[in-house]
Structure 1
Amino acid sequence: MPPALEHQVSTRGREYLRVSRDRSGRERSPEEQHRDHVGATAERGWTLGNAYRDIGSASRYATRAREGFDRLIADLQKDRFGAEVLVLWEGSRGSRKTNEWVLLIDLCEERDVKIFIFTYDRVFDPRNPYDRADLLELAIKSELASAETSKRTRRAAAASAAEGTPFGRCPYGYRRRYDPVTRKLVAQEEEPAEAAVIRELYERIQKGHSLRSIEKDLEARGVRTRTGLVFSAQHLRSMALNPAYSGQRVHDPGRTNGHTLSAKATYTQAQWPALVDRAVFLAVKRKLTAPERVTTRPGRGVHMLSMIAVCDVCDGPLAARNSERGREYTCHRKSCVRIDYDGLNTFAEAAVMDLFARPENLAWLTAAHDDTELLAVQEQVAELQHELDTLADQVGAGTLSVMLAARAEPGILSRLKAAKAREAELSTPAELHDFFGPGMDPVQRWKDAPMPARRQALRLLLSPKACGELRVRRSPTPGHRCPVVDRVRWRRSDA
């Protein structure tokens, strides 16, 4: 180390300060690092310029960019560094990636910038082959230490997952109990008030309620998050897709973000109690993640018979629209027919009310069944569907060959088809669960139900195998309106 460098008053230094997000309290904060640097540089008569700062990991396992380090590299590349010395608290503060270290060393060598490392109390000159070798060795050691730490962390996470222990932030619906002396986690338990909201969420999604309608209802009732915020539809969706509520502990070392599970995800039985049955969770998951589910279409779930009633001319669905004659239902495919919007809604609703008023018409829906067998079949359907979805995810991720998937798929589909058929024999359709049950008044429940739930029920009721398809014919007197009842034709599967 040239003695003149330590006593040269005009020598300028710039710091790179970084700390990981460390909850242990053992990391030196950027402010502490800066205080150490001030003392060391003052002894040498150096002046410190503006510092580069980052908070976050510098390892190759980090997912967030380091803006401060990126600015340091850019300033060196564009000759904007403006100092003779780069000051680091320790070698790993710079980077735990060998390639980044080599780039930094090369740039400092080209710009004749020395590197001072506080914990070594040493100035390294990248132009000196021995100093350069020491810096490169330091880079390799830093990356190796990072890799060892990552490996230990992954092993600990895998072991914790295998045991089904709680992890991360305590989910809404639960509370955690800690030992009063050691402060170690004892158990994750149900929080009654919050758990009731979670169970309601799953029940309403199953019955066809939209996330937006649930959001509005919870807001009106004053139900809030733990931080006092309104539950948004997006937040409710994320909660409904959380396997923790079905008593499942997820371990996903291949996850790249906080929401989407990778094909490497594994599930184990959790130590905490489930708030909903596994079959319920998987059924809701299928409903929320179905490819045909479109959540951005304007007017979704607003018009009672849109895309349900059928044109009797071309077999196309009817859709609601506004015209010079007012709001109408119009043939969506070829505009073959159009009919008064309110009139058709009133007609269809009267038919449903008449159906509900005569229980004998619903014998096929409310027939007695074995609850024990039904639950077992529903669990089987959910697990088989999950198995099929996982198979598709593995093919998409490249962890399973198409050939092996093709051999496994037919067997799963065959078992799934049989299980679904048995489920249909044993249960009232889920679309009608909101209207039928002990002590329920179907007519009043229909009036109180939100539009999405009504539409779910109408898709079932107004089908050829149920009450019949609601079909609209052309007006018998073109250019003139005639009663809706004269325009409607019911078509059943036995017609």
Structure 2
Amino acid sequence: MTTALRAAITTTVGLTAREYLRVSVDRSGEERSPEEQHAEHVETADELGIKLGKPYRDIGSASRYAKKSRDDFERLMDDLRNDKFGADLLWLWESSRGSRKTGEWVTLLDVCEEKGVRFYVQTHERILDPRNGNDRRTLLLDAVDSEHESYKISKRVLRGVKTNLNHEGGARGHGICPFGYERIYERTRDGSGRSVLRPTKQGPLPAEAQPVINLFYGIRAGLSMVSIERVFAADGIVGRRGKPLSAQTLRGMARRYCYIGKREHKGKILEGSWPCIADFEGAEYDGKPVTVEEFIAVFYEVQAILDDPDRRTNHSGGPQHAFSGAMKCGRCRGKLTVTYRKAAGKEQPPAYQCSVKGCVRITKEELDKIILAEVLAYLARPEVYQAVIPEDGGAELDKVRAQLAAKAAQLKAFEDEDPETPAEARLIGRKIEKLNAEITELERREVELTPGQSPLAALFDYGPDVAARWNAKPIEVQRQIAALLLTPDVLGEVRIMQVADSPSDAVADRIKWAVAT
């Protein structure tokens, strides 16, 4: 414990505080996330006997040059003005976390002075009272220094962007290094003599570049983003954060001109200084070599496909079996998938088999007939669509929508960032991937909770000729319907038992419908 903290403890026990958290870089140049700041605040508050209340959080810049709003800062100001702040202290990591705009900072000081709210600044290790002349002077000097630093950062970033766009060899990479590429940095000195890291080269990283090639060729082949997401997940392809690439992330990747060696800036397509993603030895698709010229042609075909408002997915080469993966092994609960065998040199009829341990195997044709009969009977009922989801999401739906709005705002803020260092670029990239995954899950939950938007209704509207309409649906849609219906809460989870655990070896006797209790 520092001397400053020891001296403060005698006067702070019993005080309350609320934090304003925003990403910060400390004096050593190390970035401090809101979570890291909060952890240190909690430790200090415990030592001082101060109780921390609900924090305010923002990811937008406090700079005078920032273009993004800071919603929680505005809420903080409103709470202070309207006596809803409810604490003795406003806790900041450092003064610049409040604002790098001197006028805005002075307004905050004035409001806190009027309301009797003091500051605890973590980097100062003490309480500062805006009613005290010396403390106010310290806080004001912090604001002036922060605004000047913000000015220097803005000039440096804009200069970097301009330099990268106007580079003699083509626009250089700026911001997060795209998935599929690796960027080489070298330490050089800028005009002021400072030692800085500069990107000197960017090229395909084969382990990531090959999946990118597969993405574009898969779209051209008619696969949906969801199909490709599943294939990538099955193949163990993950983003740089170690998590599967979502359909939404893949769609964004399919729109990026960087993969053909170009850069998009404010609606203009510029020549880049890096090669096409297919420009590496061993680039291939479906066992055939892929040339740069061929990939570029495929890229533009994909843009036309994604631009087509009447786009329909052709599933040739995709899933072939409606119920594969939708049923479970009665012994180990592994998924059943379709397999083929030979006996005495002759092909045997396809069968479902446990994909985990091979615990069970059962004839596909007869099992499909039984399962399909149950599915079609269910689909023929007029009331089934709302039975798949609650009629009204209520409070949970409101909560999900609020979370979606917040996550979408965070995503846009991170996507608009212009990182200055490789470490900052990697951090922002990881946060974007995490937010994309969270948004995808929240959107799925919103659909489930929204009245009249049942996933089943969207896939298969009620009407006559159920069997004919089922047969007209692409296999992938059939699989989505099966995934919705073959669950304990609807028709039941289909579990295939071993012959030894069944009344007989008949297919019907080996089926167990596990329903929710």
Q: TM-score range by the shorter chain?
A: 0.3 to 0.5
Whichever of the two has the greater Rg, that structure is: 1
TM-score by length of 1: 0.43
TM-score by length of 2: 0.41
